[in-house]
Amino acid sequence: MGQVVVISTGGTIASRWQGSGFAADARGGDVLATAAVPDGVTVRVVDLMSVNSARLTTADQLALLRTVHEVLADPDVAGIVVTHGTDTLEESAFFVDLHHGDPRPVVFTGAQLPLEDPNGDGPRNLHDALLTAASVRDLGVLVVFDGQVHAARGTIKVQTLAADAFADPSGSRVADVGPSGVVIHRRPERPEPLPLPAADGPLPRVDVVMHHCDADTLLFDAAVGAGAQGVVLVATGAGNATPEIAAAVAGAASRGVLVAVTTRVPSGSVAEIYTHGGAVDLVAGGAVLTGTLRAGQARIAVLAATLAATDPAARAEALRRALGAPAPAADAHGASLANA
């Protein structure tokens, strides 16, 4: 099958008891030693970091992205497995997927139980991830957990503690891993990859603000005032807020802040249906709807867009490209209706 490179970043799969709780401290070789390696697969380990994934930063995710690209520069590598904490795995996997154009897979996995638990799920997950990385092609970045293979895009953590931790609430899984190997059910549609971000320069601030009953513009305005170059509004329903928040969104967008709208509803797409502060008004004010992406991945899409360009219009176009969305419609004079 070939060589698979395991990039170790920490998480529960690498966690040991610290006296008051668990924390990541094991090296990748220790994690690999718990799993059965599929026949015909050779493994090389890259110890990138060992942290609980709630602590990850944009700088860490950029380091992971660049490491993935460096590893894939070797034509002898059949695929990559990234061991990662489950808290933010959905964000890192999607970030890598947005910049991934290689036919070889990058497979994220982890565990819900710590390294030395006798009933731990890490060994099976790692075995399945190695098998997937060595045997599939042209599926993009994947998440392998509990015998299931998910596309990175749209897949989120849906269980805090249970073994079947990941799913796409708005879509179906890509494959299953069983005794006969990896059985593929569908091939995910993916937009063209974004270019690899520059290796230097300041990292943009991108914030997430949630709408709720009695919500005003205080937190949204605070994010913009703190220097956010992008803001994700987690709206209600199909993408709705209030006239006051819609006005704040329009004001921020006019100053070059990239605003994206998702929803706090578990599944389904955001859509332009309602006015009086709904998605119709938010889009008219310059916001971009994120389809079925939820808050964490919507933020990653905005982050990737702000890293891809500096001009506000170019950033909005990069965000639509990341979302696989068409450009906004234009009126008879060629002006964007989204900004009319």
Specify if 191 maps to a domain: no
Phi, psi of 2 (to 5 degrees): 115, -175
Q: Report which of 56, 51, 60 is spatially closest to residue 26, judged by C-alpha positions.
A: 51
What pLDDT, on the 0 to 100 scale, is given for residue 328? 60
With beta carbons less than 8 A apart as the criterion, state whether 281 and 272 touch.
no
Count of structural domains within the chain: 2
Q: Are residues 179 and 46 in the same domain?
A: yes
CA atoms within 13 Å, Cβ hemisphere of 75: 0
Q: Do residues 138 and 275 both lie within one domain?
A: no
Report the pLDDT averaged over residues 247-260. 98
For the cut 90, the answer to whether the pLDDT of residue 330 exceeds it is no
201 pLDDT band, cuts 50/70/90, is confident
34 is in an annotated binding site: no
Per-residue DSSP letter, 191: P
Residues 147 and 280 in one domain: no
Instruction: Report whether 258 contacts 312 (CB < 8 A).
Output: yes
**Range 109-114 average pLDDT:** 98
Q: Are residues 288 and 258 in the same domain?
A: yes
Residue of 9, 67, 83, 86 with catalytic role: 86
One domain, residues 106 and 219 = no
Residue 195 lies in a domain: no
84 and 227 within one domain: no
Question: How deeply is 91 buried, as exposed, middle or buried, from its count of CB atoms within 10 A (0-12, 13-18, 19+)?
Answer: buried
Considering the chain, what is the average pLDDT of its residues?
A: 95
- Written as six digits, the tokens of 303 are 């982050």
Residue 331 has a pLDDT of 42
Residues spanned by the domain of 140: 2-184
Q: Is 101 domain-assigned? A: yes
Q: Is residue 201 part of a domain?
A: no
Same domain, 149 and 226: no
Q: In this structure, is residue 83 part of a structural domain?
A: yes
Give the pLDDT band of residue 9 (cuts 50, 70, 90). very high
Q: What is the mean pLDDT of residues 273-277?
A: 98
Largest separation between any pair of C-alpha atoms in the chain: 67
124 and 84: one domain?
A: yes
117 and 151 belong to one structural domain: yes
Residue 327 lies in a domain: yes
332 pLDDT more than 60: no
* Amino acid 138: pLDDT: 97
Active-site residue, from 9, 12, 236, 292: 12
- 37 and 150 together in one domain: yes
Clarify whether residues 111 and 238 are in a common domain.
no
User: What is the structure's pLDDT at 329?
Assistant: 54
User: What is the tens place of the pLDDT at every residue in 130-149?
Assistant: 999 999 999 999 999 999 99
- Whether the per-residue pLDDT at 76 is higher than 80: the answer is yes
pLDDT in tens, 278-324: 999 999 999 999 999 999 999 999 999 999 999 999 999 999 999 99
Closest C-alpha to 100, from 141, 136, 131: 141
Is residue 86 part of an annotated ligand binding site? Answer: yes
The string of pLDDT tens digits covering residues 21-37 is 999 999 999 999 999 99
* 194 found inside a domain: no
Pick the more confident residue, 335 or 235: 235
86 included as an active-site residue = yes
For residue 336 the two structure tokens come to 């964007």
Residue 87 assigned as binding residue: yes
12 is catalytic: yes
79-88, 167-176, 323-332: least confidently modelled range? 323-332
pLDDT digits (tens, 9 = 90+) for 213-248: 999 999 999 999 999 999 999 999 999 999 999 999
pLDDT digits (tens, 9 = 90+) for 59-71: 999 999 999 999 9
C-alpha span between 84 and 70 (Å, rounded): 18
Q: What pLDDT, in 10s, does the model give residues 167-188?
A: 999 999 999 999 999 999 999 9
At 183, give phi and psi (nearest 5°): -105, 110
CATH, residue 56 = 3.40.50.1170
User: Does a structural domain hold residue 190?
Assistant: no
Position 58 pLDDT exceeds 50: yes
Asked whether residue 326 carries a pLDDT value surpassing 80, the answer given is: no
Task: Provide the CATH number for the domain around residue 234.
Answer: 3.40.50.40
Domain end point (choices 151, 184, 217)? 184
Q: Are residues 144 and 277 in the same domain?
A: no
